[in-house]
Chains A and B, each alone.
Chain A
Amino acid sequence: MAGSRGRGRSQFSFSVDALGFGRGDSLPSSAHTPSPLYPPMQFRPVPLHTGEEVDYMLALKQELRASSKNLPFHIQAARTKTDVARYSDKYQNGETKNNCIEWSPDWSRMPKELCIKVRKPRKTVIGAKPQLTRKPKVAAGKEEALQKLEKREEEQHSEEEEDEEKKKQNEEEPDADEDYDEEELEDETDYIMSYFDNGEDFGADSEDNMDEAVY
């Protein structure tokens, strides 16, 4: 839109006062740096809505987020073991494998090419259990199983072992009674599952174990 300079003399194509500053004033300072990433706000934002409805939806959102991590739809790539193959691998079946799917979709509604082997886990059931949303109840289930374990084994668990137990209990939590024997005696061995714990997960998460007492 390069307008032609007006015919003849030095006529500017726009009137000077339309620019916003007078003749003699200095030009507005040019920018030397890109505009800041977080420019200061002129006005503070309005506070969020509050109320029972808002709180309930917030709680719902957080619960949904937490429970969706436990559903079989949450897909994780199988960890590739770069180590030597170990004997205890045979008894560690908590890992997901790439070639099985953890839930059983209705294959007639999906294209044939997506068909993949449905995993039949030894301990857990086909199809996901709905996540119980009440925490105390979940803890109650864990505690009962823990109680029984403690009585039977009569040894002090380390914190990490407790966690692993809890994780495993979580997976099979409703089956705690029936599958309890399965868990102890696995495939004609006389050892419980924690015997085959090869310590890979010990201290894997946090580096400083100083502030956690080891029993």
Chain B
Amino acid sequence: MTAQEVRLCGLLLQEHFGNVVEKVGTHLIRSGVLNLRALAHETKLPLDLVKKSLCVLVQHGMCTFGAGRRGPAGPVEYRINCEHVFHMLRYPRYIYTAKSLYGDTGELIVEEILQRGQMTMSSTVKTVADRLTHNMPEGQSMDYSEVVSVFSQLVETHFLQRCPPLASAGSSSSGAVDTPLPVATQPTEPENHPDCYKLPYINLTGQLLQSKHSSHTKKLFSGQPLCGDDGIYWQVNFQRFHLHFRDQAIISAVSCKLDQSSSEIVRTMLRMSEVTTPAHAAFTQALSANEIFRALLSSYNIARPILDQYLSLLVDDPMEFVGKTGDSGGGMYVVNLHRALANLARATLESVVQERFGSRSARIFRLLLRKRHLEQKQVEDFAMIPAKEAKDMLYKLLSENLVQLQEIPKTPDYAPSRTFYLYTVNQLPTARLLLQNCYKTVGNLIERRLYETKENKRLLEKSQRIEAILASLQATGAEAAQLTEVEEMITVPERQQLESLRHHINKLDSSENQVDETIFLLKSYINSTQASH
């Protein structure tokens, strides 16, 4: 774990779970694996607090545990899964995706499960029905069956999956949790479990009645007879969401580069191969042009010869999104996933250089990406930039580590006059470098936001109090005069200060979301290169 990653993990844990969990989490990340006693001793926190923190982390899937180095007889060892902590940055995106695909119900289901880590189906359905009912007008209520149907859709499309049961040697349970072993061992990969996406049979009684206070639901929640799915917990399948985001990125890239219709064709192709393509595949399953034509929605209004033309255009495009693998069935086409990701990452790198150093430096960068190794003289010639400026830009890029120098000696002693010095850009290490920069950026954004909030804490608290008073006065039907009197308790310069504070915080939050998109792209690219090895 790099220093920036550890710092970002700490900030995220602190934001969501407080200082105690942050301390425990960061220490565990730095140490790798630890057992409970060692962790408590080294963090100097009371044992109970450490236990509570570990419970929270395990519940959210960020911490895994297993038999330690001493084998099953020794103490349990814990390890933090950093990737999972970084997913917390992307929660709004997951929830928004669920909303766009499955509406408000889907949005609430995913939000509940994300906030709780793992939940049973019955409790999720009840809680979501609760919330929806509260937001409905009087008299209406949300039917459990609707929520259940959306839940099933989410499971069918693999956006939700069962939490894997705790592994015990050679047991193959049907999804229910086994009796705990003396030392619970590492849960297996969720995908390996055959019932990963099987819905349990639950029986929820009736429909939630709309009631003024949710005391009614409270009684339903506690002391409820078993709904038939005890012990079967569901979690969000992050990998599926990531595949969805990747597909979205490819489609929008195609629509930017070519046009809307070609992006619709690529969208259709990706949709058809959603379930047949494994997660780390380099390209989708081959699809024939006939199949694609049949699967195209009629609203796109693309005739068969037009489709063929578009497909050949896509194949010839230098970005190589789509490739042709055969001629049967009118032509067999695949979407080149890994190559598309590499191209998207490359475009990101080029855009970063362009925005930071100017378009001429970007020209040099692109040149080096294409031509691999060039001498200084050649760079000046190919880029058509005067020598002095080209030198300047090259050295600046070199000092930022975006460009590397490769020495090729002519003689065994590396005499500088008899050595070739070639400039080169390696895409993968540069992508890793930028990824670390992104982590640092998000860390800085979070810290700045915390600083701004802390500076104006008094003002924020005051405004919250005033709002609460206003709300209570409004409910008791106070006159306008009283309301304005209370409102005036915040002076105009204070109001301006509050306004600018809100503006700053919104901007910082928005920036975090946007940097996270870049993080996702670069991480997907890096993972794709690792998967192929």
Chain A residues within 8 Å of B, Cβ to Cβ: 1, 3-4, 6, 11, 13-15, 18, 20, 42-43, 45-46, 48-49, 53-54, 56-58, 60-62, 64-65, 67-68, 71, 73-77, 98-99, 101, 105-114, 116, 125-127, 129-130, 132-134, 136-137, 139-144, 146-147, 150, 159, 162-163, 166, 173-178, 205-206, 211-212
Contacts and interface: CB of A to CB of B under 8 A. Distances in A.
Interface residues of B, number: 89
Contacts of B178: 108
B417 A68 contact: no
Contacts of A20: 388, 391-392
A32 B217 CA distance: 69
Closest 3 CB pairs of A and B: A143-B475, A139-B471, A60-B92
Given A65-B15, A98-B48, A113-B36, A106 B233 contact: yes
Nearest to B512: A61
Majority secondary structure, B binding face: helix
Contact of B414 (A1, A42, A166): A1
A74 B17 contact: yes
Interface string B118-159: 000000000100110011000000000000000000000000
A74 B476 contact: no
Contacts of B36: 113-114
Nearest to A46: B355
B17 A101 contact: no
Given A73-B17, A146-B472, 20 more contacts: A4-B415, A13-B417, A20-B392, A64-B111, A73-B16, A73-B21, A76-B18, A77-B49, A101-B55, A105-B55, A108-B178, A110-B58, A111-B65, A113-B51, A114-B58, A116-B48, A132-B134, A133-B131, A140-B475, A175-B218
Contacts of B506: 58
A176 B233 CA distance: 32
Given A58-B509, A73-B17, A76-B18, A143 B476 contact: yes
B213 A141 contact: yes
Given A49-B514, A146-B472, A114 B55 contact: yes
Contacts of B179: 108
Given A43-B356, A114-B58, A130-B131, A142 B512 contact: no
A113 B65 CA distance: 11
B471 A142 contact: yes
Given A13-B416, A58-B509, A76-B20, A109 B92 contact: no
Interface stretch (B180-188, B276-284, B310-318): B180-188
Contacts of A45: 355
A11 B416 CA distance: 12
Given A14-B417, A159-B465, A109 B166 contact: yes
Contacts of A150: 476
